[in-house]
């Protein structure tokens, strides 16, 4: 067979081709890879994975000599708020004065400010802005993402956000898991009756399902936002409607959203900075992935980070994400998140790579398409300007991407998206 592209002399080719669909506990320290590897594909589908010596007999239209570089699967970002209007730099002064995130929200800023801008934006404007950010995510080596709605808080704008995600996935030829986060904040006029608001959001489930606009339903379970009981009732309706569920859990206050996520078999529990010791233990015997977002702790200037070490040491499965959003984590740089995971979460480099590939894919139920390099899979591949995998969490704040291939096509080079 004549391949389209063959990469040779990949000093370390991380295949991440574990025997299991995700890794937990001690397994997170194993890193399936090929030394002096080679990988090739045809029509966007991986056709060869092996050593450079074995690749000598393989014929390809184009051969790229990686010259001792690191090569990995495209990274998976399992938690983003990709689609929104406006931005929130006007809240910097409030933030610097020490006004807490939940206080800004209470005063009608924060998420509410982004809701206003998102409602005002047209489909085309939202699409263009989301595409701009998506290209930047790709330029950092990400080839699969999850994207949430949640800046509409009413039917029309929530559906508009989800439609933007659907169009982007199609037009960018990208694997995107879509999440309905209508329960992201309580609109001011429902302040006294959040249940009525949640009822309105739940009424959209069927329409979203019928139009195939989302696979997941998520809720912000937090003090001053949605309570544990409200979250439980809402997510059980979501499950009845056929959705998989996720929770923004114990991000700021310990409410027990993490325990709830595990009890109801959520695909992931996200944030967990204030998760209880009991919740940490529960991950050890659960398939719910702990999605940790150290960029948010960093940007909210919090003292404590999620207890990644304890979750892994207790046998749990951890993934990492950017939480890209205009308020608590305005960054597309997953490599900086990998650095924070090394520095602040005390994760090993092997754990970090598993957390941004196969575990991240599992957290968004894309484990059969994303996060590993294997014959028959989509050629979502990254060549890194790095000699080894430890180098990415080590050298911080910059973009190490040499080339990103999305479905076999070169889409980013030298850390920049290639715009026609
Ligand atoms: O994951 N906590 C709730 N949602 C987002 C922030 C959204 C925003 O501030 O716009 C988060 O931190
Ligand atoms: Fe979030």
Closest atom of ligand 1 to CA, residue 252:
2
Residues 150 and 9 both lie in one domain: no
User: Ligand 1, atom 8: nearest CA belongs to which residue?
Assistant: 327
For the chain, what is the radius of gyration of the CA atoms? 21
Mutate to test the pocket of ligand 1, among 80, 88, 184, 231 (most ligand atoms within 8 A of CB): 184
Residues 20 and 112 both lie in one domain: no
Residues 50 and 198 both lie in one domain: no
Q: Would the pLDDT of 109 be above 80?
A: yes
User: Ligand 1, atom 6: nearest CA belongs to which residue?
Assistant: 328
Residues 209 and 313 both lie in one domain: yes
Residues 294 and 404 both lie in one domain: no
Give the pLDDT confidence score for residue 420 in this predicted structure: 72
User: Ligand 1, atom 11: nearest CA belongs to which residue?
Assistant: 328
Helices (H), 288-414: 294-299, 308-313, 334-343, 349-355, 358-363, 391-394
Residues 173 and 295 both lie in one domain: yes
When pLDDT is averaged across residues 54-76 and rounded to a whole number, the result is 98
Q: Would the pLDDT of 255 be above 90?
A: yes
Residues with CB under 6 A from ligand 1: 81, 110-111, 114, 220, 248, 251, 296, 323, 325-328
Residues 65 and 86 both lie in one domain: no
Closest atom of ligand 1 to CA, residue 251:
2
The domain total for the chain is 2
Q: Would the pLDDT of 258 be above 90?
A: yes
Mutate to test the pocket of ligand 1, among 79, 80, 81 (most ligand atoms within 8 A of CB): 81
Confidence band for 144, pLDDT divided at 50, 70 and 90: very high
Give the closest ligand to the alpha carbon of residue 77: 2
Q: Going by C-beta distance under 8 Å and a sequence separation of 6 or more, which residues neighbour residue 97?
A: none
Give the closest ligand to the alpha carbon of residue 225: 1
Residues 66 and 94 both lie in one domain: no
User: Ligand 1, atom 3: nearest CA belongs to which residue?
Assistant: 220
Give the pLDDT confidence score for residue 78 in this predicted structure: 99
**Which contacts (CB < 8 Å, 24+ apart) does range 47-55 have?**
47/1, 47/3, 47/375, 48/3, 48/6, 48/375, 49/13, 49/15, 49/17, 49/373, 49/374, 49/375, 52/8, 52/9, 52/10, 55/6, 55/8
Give the closest ligand to the alpha carbon of residue 185: 1
User: Ligand 1, atom 5: nearest CA belongs to which residue?
Assistant: 328
Residues 343 and 383 both lie in one domain: no
CB-count burial class (<10 Å; 0-12, 13-18, 19+) for 284: middle
Residues 242 and 337 both lie in one domain: yes
Closest atom of ligand 1 to CA, residue 110:
9
Reported as a single tens digit per residue, the pLDDT across 325-368 is 999 999 999 999 999 999 999 999 999 999 999 999 999 999 99
Residues 130 and 185 both lie in one domain: yes
Reported as a single tens digit per residue, the pLDDT across 227-244 is 999 999 999 999 999 999
Give the closest ligand to the alpha carbon of residue 84: 1
When pLDDT is averaged across residues 173-200 and rounded to a whole number, the result is 97
Closest atom of ligand 1 to CA, residue 323:
1
Reported as a single tens digit per residue, the pLDDT across 393-418 is 999 999 999 999 999 999 999 999 99
Six token digits for residue 217: 């339903």
Query: 340, 363, 386 — which closes off a domain?
Result: 363
CATH of the domain at 22: 2.30.40.10
Compute the distance from residue 207 Cα to the ligand 1 centre, in Å: 25
Residues 157 and 138 both lie in one domain: yes
Reported as a single tens digit per residue, the pLDDT across 270-290 is 999 999 999 999 999 999 999
Compute the distance from residue 380 Cα to the ligand 1 centre, in Å: 28
When pLDDT is averaged across residues 377-394 and rounded to a whole number, the result is 98
CATH of the domain at 261: 3.20.20.140
User: Ligand 1, atom 12: nearest CA belongs to which residue?
Assistant: 328
Inter-helix orientation angle 155-171/123-139, to 10°? 50
Compute the distance from residue 403 Cα to the ligand 1 centre, in Å: 31
Residue in the structure block whose two tokens are 């989800």: 162
Which structural domain, as residue segments, surrounds residue 215?
76-363
Give the pLDDT confidence score for residue 14 in this predicted structure: 99
| Mean per-residue pLDDT of the chain | 98
When pLDDT is averaged across residues 378-407 and rounded to a whole number, the result is 98
Inter-helix orientation angle 228-240/194-202, to 10°? 10
Give the closest ligand to the alpha carbon of residue 95: 1
């Amino acid at each position: 067979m004549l391949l389209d592209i063959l990469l040779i002399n990949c000093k370390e080719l991380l295949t991440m081709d574990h025997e299991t669909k995700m890794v937990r506990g001690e397994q997170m320290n194993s890193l399936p890879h090929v030394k002096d590897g080679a990988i090739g594909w045809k029509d966007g589908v991986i056709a060869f994975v092996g050593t450079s010596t074995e690749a000598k007999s393989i014929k390809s239209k184009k051969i790229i000599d990686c010259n001792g570089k690191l090569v990995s699967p495209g990274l998976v970002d399992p938690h983003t708020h990709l689609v929104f209007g406006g931005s929130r730099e006007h809240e910097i002064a409030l933030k610097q004065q020490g006004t807490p995130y939940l206080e800004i929200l209470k005063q009608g800023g924060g998420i509410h400010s982004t809701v206003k801008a998102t409602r005002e934006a047209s489909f085309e404007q939202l699409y263009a802005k989301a595409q701009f950010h998506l290209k930047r995510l790709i330029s950092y080596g990400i080839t699969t993402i999850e994207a949430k709605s949640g800046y509409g808080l009413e039917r029309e704008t929530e559906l508009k956000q989800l439609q933007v995600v659907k169009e982007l996935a199609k037009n960018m030829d990208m694997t995107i898991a879509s999440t309905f986060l209508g329960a992201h904040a309580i609109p001011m006029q429902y302040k006294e009756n959040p249940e009525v608001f949640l009822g309105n959001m739940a009424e959209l489930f069927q329409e979203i399902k019928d139009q195939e606009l989302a696979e997941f339903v998520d809720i912000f379970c937090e003090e001053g936002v949605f309570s544990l009981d409200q979250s439980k009732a809402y997510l059980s309706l979501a499950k009845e409607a056929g959705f998989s569920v996720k929770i923004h859990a114990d991000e700021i206050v310990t409410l027990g959203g993490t325990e709830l996520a595990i009890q109801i078999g959520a695909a992931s529990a996200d944030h967990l900075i204030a998760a209880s010791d009991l919740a940490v233990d529960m991950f050890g015997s659960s398939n719910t992935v702990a999605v940790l977002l150290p960029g948010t702790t960093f940007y909210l200037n919090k003292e404590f980070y999620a207890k990644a070490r304890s979750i892994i040491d207790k046998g749990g499965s951890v993934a990492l994400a950017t939480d890209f959003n205009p308020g608590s984590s305005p960054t597309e740089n997953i490599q900086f998140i990998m650095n924070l995971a090394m520095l602040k979460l005390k994760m090993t480099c092997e754990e970090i790579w598993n957390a941004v590939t196969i575990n991240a894919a599992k957290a968004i139920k894309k484990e059969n398409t994303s996060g590993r390099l294997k014959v028959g899979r989509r050629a979502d591949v990254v060549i890194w300007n790095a000699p080894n995998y430890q180098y990415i969490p080590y050298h911080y704040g910059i973009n190490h991407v040499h080339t990103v291939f999305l479905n076999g096509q070169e889409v980013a080079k030298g850390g920049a998206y290639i715009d026609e």
